[in-house]
Structure formats: C-alpha cells, structure tokens
Amino acid sequence: MKIGVLGSGIMGNGIAQVFAMSGYNVVLTDLKKEALHQARIDMEQSLTKISKKKENNIKPSDVLQSVVFTTDKEQLADSDIVIEAIIENMKAKTSVFRELDEICDSKTILASNTSSLAITEIAAATNRPEKVCGIHFFNPVPLMKLVEIISAEQTSNEIVDRISKVIESVNKESIQVKDTPLFVVNRILVPMICEAIFVFEEGIATADDIDKGMKLGAGHPMGPLKLADIIGLDTLLYVQKMLFQETGDSKYRVPKLLKKMVRAGNFGQKTGKGFYDYP
C-alpha cells in the first residue's frame, strides 16, 4: 500500500515517518527542496531515538529507504491515501485538493490533517467528496497514540472504516468525530490552555507553578504553558480565534496576553521565547 503525504513540516514529516515505520511505501512531497532536506534530517533523528529503545526493532536506514522525498506532486498519483499537512489556510487547502483530485487515481482517498478547518468545505472542492475525510494526528506524531478520523458531511462510511483499519495498522488508536470546529481533542485542550494563560495573565501563579499544578494535580504529562510553547503560540492563537469565530461563544475569547506575545514575535519553542526561554 502506498501513502502520499503533502507538506513536510513537523506534522507531515511525523506522519510520513509513522507510516514508513509500519512498512508502507511513502512519498513525502513539499514545494521546497530545503524543507524536504530538513525533514529527512529530523526523521533520521527521531528514528535514531526510537531505535535505541529495546522494545523497538527499527533500523533507521531501512525506514528512510521506504520514503521518497520529492517536490514532484505527480508521484502521489497512484497512492492509496494522500494526507495533506500544509498550512492552515482554507484557500491553500481547497486549491491543493483540487490539484490532488486531478493528479490522483480515482481510487485514492484524500485526507487532511487540518486541526481547525472544515473538512466538508475541503471535500466540496473535489469531484470525489465521498472519498475525502480528516485524519488528524497529534504532535509529536511518532509518540502520540491518538488519531481523530473526521467525517465530512459527504464522507462515506466505507472510507471511515477503511481509514480506521489503516490507523490500527500503524499502531495508533482512533476516535471517530463529526466535522465541527476543532473536532474533539483540540476543542477541549485549546480552551484549557487559554484558561491557563488567563490564570497567568491575572498573576494568580507563576508559569512554573501553573504547569506543576496541572502535572501533579491533574496528571497531565506536561503543563499547559509548556505545551502552548511546543504547539506554537501563533498556532494556538489561530485555532482559538477560529473556535471563537465559528461558535460566537464568548467562553472561547482569546487571552490578551496571547495576542501580545504573538505580536511581539514570541511564538514559543520555535522562536526561542514564549512562556519559557529556549536558549
């Protein structure tokens, strides 16, 4: 079975890696050669970490050999599934889905890894809306067990069943979700992180203590402010805004501090500064 992945950023790269680790042939495409070069380096580093664990029987060089890194989208043509992981922008997504619809075989399932955009609108841009769905992975993709499978209004049940089996085959668990703003996990997680930002903004506790509170008091693997820095404050702002816009519910208002930090260019780990410093 052949899997195509479009977009070699942190999510696309992780998705490609997970399929390759389970023996699939993978084509990873991006517009930029440099992005693909970086993706290969990141994948190798991740695979090396994973291969050092006793319970894994992974040989990084073998896994890398099953991934084609290319700027040529035509190589996605005979994929069984193509998963899109480009920027979170509806115009960009619909344009790419139109293109994939033309390039790919009629059997190909087209999926989006979007965390915030309507799959129904993306599906409507193609001539095969019943074969379009959301397959939403979580960061860091090689470690997080869950995948959300999102049905657009048009997605057929058969496609959802097939995708569930494929997800099982890469050792992940899935949940089935209707096409609604932010789906299930982010709908709960993102407002929770924003609440932590309100708590910090109101001077109720330090960032360290807020994170310690949620780790030790609620059993979270990592505190919400640290997680905000990892997700990226720009991404977080975008998705919370989307939730607010789509629902019109004031409980999803955006913390002023989050806006200020993003305006200042402090996006978290990727820019070296967020709620914590990353020298």
Catalytic positions, written as ranges: 115, 136, 148, 186
Stretch that binds ligand 3HC, among 65-73, 135-143, 152-160, 262-270 (CB under 6 A): 135-143
Among 81, 96, 111, 231, binds ligand 3HC (CB under 6 A): 231
Q: Is 175 in the site for ligand 3HC (CB under 6 A)?
A: no
Cβ proximity to ligand 3HC: between 20 and 104 the closer is 20
Beta carbons within 8 Å of 99's beta carbon, 6+ residues apart: 73
* Per-residue contact string for residues 21-50; x = within reach of ligand 3HC by CB under 6 A: -------------------------x--xx
Q: How far is the CB of 49 from ligand 3HC (least distance, A)?
A: 4
- Chain CA centroid to CA 221, Å: 19
Looking up tokens 């402090």 gives 266
Q: CA distances (Å), 165 to each of 175, 208, 277, in order?
A: 12, 41, 41
Q: Give me 107's structure tokens.
A: 């059997």
Q: Is 186 in the site for ligand 3HC (CB under 6 A)?
A: yes
Beta carbons within 8 Å of 49's beta carbon, 6+ residues apart: none
Q: Is 221 in the site for ligand 3HC (CB under 6 A)?
A: yes
Q: How far is the CB of 102 from ligand 3HC (least distance, A)?
A: 28
Q: Is 227 in the site for ligand 3HC (CB under 6 A)?
A: yes
Q: Is 143 in the site for ligand 3HC (CB under 6 A)?
A: yes
Among 222, 249, 256, 277, binds ligand 3HC (CB under 6 A): 222
Distance CA(214)–CA(210), nearest Å, equals 6
Q: Where are the alpha helices (DSSP H) in the chain?
A: 10-21, 33-51, 60-65, 90-103, 119-124, 157-169, 185-201, 207-218, 224-231, 233-247, 256-263
Determine contact, residues 36/9, Cβ cutoff 8 Å. no
Q: Please report, as ranges, the residues that interact with ligand 3HC according to CB under 6 A.
A: 46, 49-50, 115, 138-140, 142-144, 186, 189, 221-222, 227, 231, 235
